[in-house]
Structure formats: C-alpha cells, structure tokens
C-alpha cells in the first residue's frame, strides 16, 4: 500500500501522546488533508508514570515561557501567545472544554525589576502591584488574568477530540524512528498489510534523548517535585520566580498543586521526604491562605495543619533542552521526519503554537516532495 488512503488523504504518524503529541496530531488532523495515527508508549488514561511528563504539570499558562528558557526558539513569543489565545477561548464559559480550565488571577513576584515595557503587559487585566502587596524577597509584582489547566481532564479532552474526528491510536514503544517511517504502525499492530506514512512527527518529550534516529543528548530531565492538596478555598495563583521556584496552582476541581523544585539533570523518579517538608514550610510562609480557613480563624496555621489536606506527593521530569524547543524537519530518511520536543517547563504554555510551527514544516516538506 502507498501513503495515500482511498479518499486520497495522506497518512501521518505522530509518535507521542503527551500534551505536545496530542495537540500536534489535532492541528495536523484539523487541516482536513491528512489521516493521523498516534503511536505512543503511554496514553492519557494510563496510571501515572515518570515516563510521561504531561500528567505531572501544575499547570498554568503564565502568558510567556520566558522564565524557563536560556536560549529560546526564535518564534517563542508568538508560540506562547498563539497558545494563550486558543486556550483562553477553550476556557470560556460555555466552551466544550470549559471544565478542563479554571480562569483566575495570577500574581507573580520578582526579585528584580523587569525591563519596560514588560512582556506580560498585554495580558488581560494586567497591573503592577502596589508595594504593600509584595511578598518577602520581591521588589516587583504583577497581576493578570489567565487560566490553570486540570491536566488529566485536559489530556483526555484532547485525546477524545482527536478520536472523534477519525484519529487512530496505537500503543507501542518505538526503538528507532525508521521502524515507523518504513512500514507505519504495522510492526506494532501485527497487521499484515500496513501502510507507509507520508511523514512521521516525533513529539516524544524526554524520549528524544533515547529514541534511535534522534538521540538528542541536549535533552535532559529537569526534575520538579510538587504536592497535590485539597483546598477548594484557594482561588488565585501565586508564583515567585527568584530563589526557589514557589507556586500555588488551584484547579477547577478544588485540588491545588503546590511546589516546587527545578533541578537540571536530576532523574530521581520519586518524591523526596526532605523536599516535601521544605516545600510545605516554604509555601505556608509565602501563602498562609493555603491552610484551612477554620484554622486560620482561630490561630496562626502551622505545617501540621496542611498534612490532613494532602492528597499526594508528586514528582515529574520536564523535558529540558538548553537551546529551547526543537521544531525541525529532517528529510534524510525514507519519509520526512518532523520533530517537536524539548518543551521543558512550558509544554502547556507553548503547545498550540509549537504545533502550528510543526504543521507548517510538515506541509512544506510534503509540498516539496510532490
């Protein structure tokens, strides 16, 4: 069989079903020009695993990924703002995806004054905070409207939207990209008559360090430890960017993610007890409102008051890459290989925009061939 189906749509295979693989697959599918199949080792409905970063994120759209990037992709600002616009609409009251998001006020605190005009000034309801609102250790603070993402629900929303539009999903661990470039998903389903794709798109997160044909050793884990709490009284997001990364990220469900840590080249896959204690003390000091209101009504809250509302200790590995996201096309193989990985601590913030860049490269590579 060839790479065209009976309705003459080209077959595209996306490797990876994290937020990047799912969003990229949807972008490609929604052009109407392609049949898209996702092959992945881990899917959104699986039990949590360290091998799948997207389930561990907070997650918040901070307006920009600038805080996380050493050497950003040249289109990074456009990528982040395109993503914000799309997800802001998805989070609107009445939207089909509304339940995946919580719109709220985000308060960000900085240890140094930012260059003006500051890049977040275009965010909805943006303002600089008064000196009296600042937290210890900060000299500047900004407040604006954005949304948090309830990631397990959102990932399943993306997956169901992809399936509802005719997408296919296959579970498999690819050892080398050539395995799917030559014979599509056939080798992974046991089907006798499989189909060579027109192109393959690799959205493999940390897997880019190991997957044959990519093996990008610039990709490494940036470990983040967090604690999931039940605290439905919290309705704003708090974030400090200097010193240890500290944040409070409430979800629509009433669960709240507090954290965190940001440690490069640390691959330890479980929560560390001493880090947990340190996070609890740090967040209680930064934001005493994390403690139950009935306690705060009678006395100063202590770390012990938070213990009963803890759901789980967590830890995830961000797919970091010093050079920023790699969105690229490699035409040296049997079919074009589009790459979209290395989103570090900003995969949600940049998901839709980086999928658009990947789609442009895919369209370009296929137009050139025909």
Ligand X SMILES: Cc1cc2nc3c(=O)[nH]c(=O)nc-3n(C[C@H](O)[C@H](O)[C@H](O)COP(=O)(O)OP(=O)(O)OC[C@H]3O[C@@H](n4cnc5c(N)ncnc54)[C@H](O)[C@@H]3O)c2cc1C
Residue 57 binding: pick among ligand X, ligand NAG, none (C-beta 5-8 Å cut-off by kind) = ligand X
Encoded tokens for 288: 């005493």
Least CB distance from residue 295 to ligand X, whole Å?
27
Q: How far apart are CA 98 and CA 88, in angstroms?
A: 10
Select 170 or 295, whichever has its Cβ closest to ligand X. Answer: 170
Which residues, numbered 277-336, are part of the site for ligand NAG (CB under 6 A)? Answer: 323, 326
Annotated binding site: 53-54, 174, 318, 345
**Residue with the shortest CB distance to ligand NAG:** 218
Query: Quick one: which of 100, 132, 176 has its CA closest to 337?
Result: 176
Select 34 or 346, whichever has its Cβ closest to ligand X. Answer: 346
Q: How far apart are CA 53 and CA 89, in angstroms?
A: 25
**Angle at alpha carbon of residue 179, lines to 175 and 180, rounded to 5°:** 115
Residue 275 binding: pick among ligand X, ligand NAG, none (C-beta 5-8 Å cut-off by kind) = none
Which residues, numbered 308-337, are part of the site for ligand X (CB under 6 A)? Answer: 316, 318-319
Q: CA-CA distances (angstroms) from residue 101 to 89, 242, 319?
A: 11, 27, 23
Least CB distance from residue 177 to ligand NAG, whole Å?
14
Strands (E), 260-309: 263-264
Residue 341 binding: pick among ligand NAG, ligand X, none (C-beta 5-8 Å cut-off by kind) = ligand X
Q: List phi, psi (to 5°) of 363.
A: -55, -45
Q: Could you tell me if 210 and 216 are in contact, meaning their C-beta atoms sit under 8 angstroms apart?
A: no
Select 80 or 216, whichever has its Cβ closest to ligand NAG. Answer: 216
Residue 155 binding: pick among ligand X, ligand NAG, none (C-beta 5-8 Å cut-off by kind) = none
- The residue behind tokens 């049949």 is 35
Q: Could you tell me if 180 and 12 are in contact, meaning their C-beta atoms sit under 8 angstroms apart?
A: no
Annotated binding site for FAD: 53-54, 174
Q: How far apart are CA 351 and CA 11, in angstroms?
A: 22
Residue 218 binding: pick among ligand NAG, ligand X, none (C-beta 5-8 Å cut-off by kind) = ligand NAG
Reported as type and span, the H/E element at residue 141 is strand 140-149
Residue 348 binding: pick among ligand NAG, ligand X, none (C-beta 5-8 Å cut-off by kind) = ligand X
Binding string to ligand NAG for residues 76 to 95, with x set by CB under 6 A, is what? --------------------
Which residues, numbered 188-247, are part of the site for ligand NAG (CB under 6 A)? Answer: 216, 218
- The residue behind tokens 């009504």 is 297
Least CB distance from residue 241 to ligand NAG, whole Å?
25
Select 194 or 323, whichever has its Cβ closest to ligand NAG. Answer: 323
Q: Which residues contact 358 (CB under 8 A, 6 or more apart)?
A: 24, 27, 28, 201, 203, 327, 338, 339, 340
Q: CA-CA distances (angstroms) from residue 22 to 18, 57, 124, 155, 191?
A: 6, 15, 27, 8, 24
The answer to whether 70 contacts ligand NAG (rule: CB under 6 A) is no
Number of residues that bind ligand X (CB under 6 A): 41
Residue 216 binding: pick among ligand X, ligand NAG, none (C-beta 5-8 Å cut-off by kind) = ligand NAG
Q: Could you tell me if 112 and 240 are in contact, meaning their C-beta atoms sit under 8 angstroms apart?
A: no
Which residues, numbered 34-73, are part of the site for ligand X (CB under 6 A)? Answer: 40-42, 52-54, 56-60
Q: Could you tell me if 200 and 36 are in contact, meaning their C-beta atoms sit under 8 angstroms apart?
A: no
User: Which residues of the shown chain bind ligand X in the complex (CB under 6 A)?
Assistant: 15-21, 40-42, 52-54, 56-60, 173-174, 203-207, 211, 224, 226, 259-260, 316, 318-319, 341, 343-349
User: Which residues of the shown chain bind ligand NAG in the complex (CB under 6 A)?
Assistant: 216, 218, 323, 326
């Amino acid at each position: 069989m060839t790479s065209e189906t009976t309705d003459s749509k080209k077959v595209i295979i996306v490797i990876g079903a994290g937020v990047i693989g799912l969003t990229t697959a949807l972008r490609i599918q929604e052009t109407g020009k392609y049949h898209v199949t996702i092959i992945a080792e881990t899917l959104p409905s699986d039990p949590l695993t360290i091998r799948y970063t997207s389930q561990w994120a907070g997650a918040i759209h901070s307006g920009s990924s600038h805080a996380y990037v050493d050497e950003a992709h040249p289109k990074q600002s456009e990528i982040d703002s395109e993503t914000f616009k799309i997800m802001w609409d998805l989070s609107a009251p009445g939207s089909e995806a509304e339940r995946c998001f919580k719109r709220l006020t985000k308060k960000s605190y900085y240890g140094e004054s930012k260059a003006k005009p500051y890049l977040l000034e275009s965010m909805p309801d943006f303002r600089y905070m008064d000196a009296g609102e600042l937290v210890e250790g900060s000299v500047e603070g900004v407040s604006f409207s954005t949304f948090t993402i309830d990631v397990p629900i959102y990932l399943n929303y993306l997956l169901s939207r992809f399936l509802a539009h005719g997408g296919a999903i296959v579970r498999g661990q690819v050892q080398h990209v050539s395995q799917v470039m030559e014979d599509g998903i056939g080798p992974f389903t046991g089907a006798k008559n499989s189909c060579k794709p027109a192109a393959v798109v690799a959205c493999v997160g940390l897997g880019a360090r190991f997957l044959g044909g990519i093996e990008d050793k610039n990709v490494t884990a940036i470990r983040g430890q967090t604690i999931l709490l039940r605290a439905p009284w919290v309705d704003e997001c708090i974030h400090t960017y200097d010193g240890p990364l500290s944040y409070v990220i409430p979800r629509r469900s009433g669960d709240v993610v507090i954290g965190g840590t940001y440690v490069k080249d640390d691959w330890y896959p479980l929560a560390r007890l001493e880090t947990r204690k340190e996070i609890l003390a740090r967040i209680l000091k930064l934001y005493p409102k994390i403690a139950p209101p009935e306690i705060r009504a009678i006395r100063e809250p202590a770390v012990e008051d938070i213990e009963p509302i803890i759901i789980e200790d967590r830890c995830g590995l961000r797919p970091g890459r010093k050079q920023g996201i790699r969105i690229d096309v490699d035409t040296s193989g049997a079919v074009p290989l589009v790459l979209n990985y290395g989103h570090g601590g900003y995969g949600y913030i940049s998901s839709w925009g980086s999928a658009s860049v990947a789609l442009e490269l895919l369209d370009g590579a296929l137009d050139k061939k025909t």
